[in-house]
Amino acid sequence: MRELILGGARSGKSALAERLAQESNRSVTYIATATAGDAEMQQRIAQHQQRRPADWQLVEEPIRLADILQQEASESRCLLVDCLTLWLTNLLLADDQTLFDEQRALLLEALPQLPGRILFVSNEVGLGIVPMGELSRRFQDEAGRLNQAMATGCDRVIFTVAGLPQVLKGEQL
């Protein structure tokens, strides 16, 4: 089962994904896409680490997400990817259109074949104003396109607002 959990900043999407992973009764691998580029991001990462159970495995992969998913996915495991928008940011900042196109295509191609339970966390960034900067507009556009493509390929899509999950597609919680 593939699930996409969307929400804004501090909406509760990561906490929900962590709860669902814990309740899956499978071994859990947390796939982190963030890179700790500054002290504030290091603090955010530390907060996520403190919330996770000690028996969860951790894989850090900022770019080659499809490769890691194919290596780690199995019927007996639950993978939690947090988050797609940080992964997208890493690709856009790499300033290599070929890498961006390649990695996005590989993820979408791998998605239907992945066994086990996979939880994808992503920010919904299209509810506000259109940003002024070119890179910010591109990020917003690409995040929207990625979320739409992932939603099509996932069995369940959940939108989280103020800690309240709203199932948009698939089985109710």
Residue bearing tokens 């979320």: 147
Contact yes or no for 67/58 (Cβ under 8 A): no
Biggest CA–CA distance in the chain, Å, is 45
Question: How far is Cα 145 from Cα 100, in angstroms, rounded to an integer?
Answer: 13
Q: Which of 19, 26, 48, 169 is catalytic?
A: 48
- Residues with Cβ within 8 Å of 21's Cβ and at least 6 positions away in sequence, in order, are 28, 30, 56, 78, 80, 117, 119
Query: In DSSP terms, which residues pair with 7 in a beta bridge?
Result: 123, 160
Please say if 104 is a catalytic residue.
no
Q: Are strands 77-82 and 117-123 parallel, antiparallel or unpaired?
A: parallel
Contact yes or no for 157/172 (Cβ under 8 A): no
Question: How far is Cα 150 from Cα 114, in angstroms, rounded to an integer?
Answer: 13
Q: Catalytic amino acids? A: 48
